[in-house]
């Protein structure tokens, strides 16, 4: 505790370690036990992990990070030290389906049909758009993810939700990854994706359109989950000054954090970048 007295209040460290102040002062002449010293160091590392993962890492993810660092620490110990340090994970919002009116045949069939496990990259991409509020108006974020790696392989932002924004997003992904013919591009039935401009672009690239059923967010659950996490980890806690500030924040979230740092349970607690690298080596 003496080694960390400049970083943490003595009273706090006493509570974390379950000792009284008088007991601490009486023990100052005695050396700190290796276990107590390790607990203090672990608490400091847990705070760092909490910050690195934007307050979104729970007990298991923190434990996985420590395991990857060859830190011999059990899950129960991580849970105990998190509680002692007051580290709390930001709550996520559950996806909710909205009742949809009866409709005619969708513009494109649902080729994915909730089969979100894809073994090979660049076979199925999913896309969606969401709104981000700024002090000067609404910004629109458009993304496409690869179902195999869960990486954001294309994103763009604009001040309106248009077919041009949808094409700009998938065009960036196409140019970077150059998928083979018959790539499945799955989206909801929003007007940008049903537009002639977007459908013509897919056809020109040999890609196939797939669409969710109207009003059923679970048909595009991977993209919806990405936006749910983005809002929970980013936009619910900040109000951006303008569109440019929102773009900068989203770029940092996607390119610095989501694709390269954030661990995904569905990927075996790997990052999208790690899974992409594994496929490149095969």
The H-or-E segment that residue 153 falls in is strand 152-158
Share of the chain above pLDDT 90, in %: 54
> What's 183's domain CATH number?
3.30.420.10
3-state secondary structure of 23: helix
Mean pLDDT of the chain: 87
Residue bearing the bigger pLDDT, 23 or 64: 64
pLDDT at 221 over 80: yes
> Of 231, 262, 222, which Cα lies nearest the Cα of 118?
222
26: containing domain: 2-85
pLDDT at 28 over 70: no
Q: How far apart are CA 64 and CA 233, in angstroms?
A: 19
> Does 114 map to a domain?
no
> Predicted confidence band at 27 (pLDDT cuts at 50, 70, 90)?
low
Domain check: are 188 and 62 in the same one? no
Mean pLDDT of 134-144: 96
Mean pLDDT of 33-55: 83
Number of domains in the chain: 2
Q: What is the pLDDT of residue 118?
A: 96
Residue bearing the bigger pLDDT, 103 or 235: 235
> Predicted confidence band at 158 (pLDDT cuts at 50, 70, 90)?
very high
Domain check: are 78 and 175 in the same one? no
Q: How far apart are CA 212 and CA 245, in angstroms?
A: 32
Q: What is the pLDDT of residue 62?
A: 85
> Does 190 map to a domain?
yes
Q: Within 13 Å and on the Cβ side, how many CA atoms surround 206? A: 9
């Amino acid at each position: 505790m003496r080694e960390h007295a400049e970083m943490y209040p003595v009273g706090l460290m006493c509570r974390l370690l379950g000792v009284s102040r008088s007991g601490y002062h009486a023990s100052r002449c005695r050396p700190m036990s290796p276990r107590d010293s390790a607990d203090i160091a672990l608490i400091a590392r847990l705070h760092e992990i909490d910050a690195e993962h934007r307050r979104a890492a729970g007990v298991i993810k923190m434990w996985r990070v420590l395991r990857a660092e060859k830190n011999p620490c059990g899950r129960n110990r991580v849970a105990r030290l998190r509680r002692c340090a007051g580290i709390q994970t930001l709550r996520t919002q559950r996806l909710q389906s909205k009742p949809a009116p009866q409709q005619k045949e969708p513009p494109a069939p649902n080729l994915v049909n909730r089969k979100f496990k894809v073994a090979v990259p660049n076979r199925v991409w999913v896309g969606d758009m969401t709104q981000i509020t700024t002090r000067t108006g609404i910004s629109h974020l458009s993304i496409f993810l690869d179902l195999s790696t869960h990486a954001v392989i294309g994103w763009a932002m604009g001040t309106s939700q248009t077919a041009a924004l949808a094409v700009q997003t998938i065009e960036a992904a196409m140019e970077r990854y150059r998928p083979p013919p018959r790539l499945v591009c799955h989206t909801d039935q929003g007007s940008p994706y049903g537009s002639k401009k977007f459908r013509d672009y897919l056809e020109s690239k040999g890609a196939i359109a797939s669409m969710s059923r109207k009003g059923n967010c679970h048909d595009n659950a991977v993209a919806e989950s990405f936006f749910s996490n983005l809002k929970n980890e980013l936009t619910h806690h900040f109000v951006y000054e303008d569109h440019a500030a929102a773009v900068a924040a989203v770029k940092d979230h996607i390119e610095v954090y989501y694709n390269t740092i954030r661990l995904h349970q569905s990927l075996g607690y790997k990052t999208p970048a790690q899974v992409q690298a594994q496929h490149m080596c095969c």
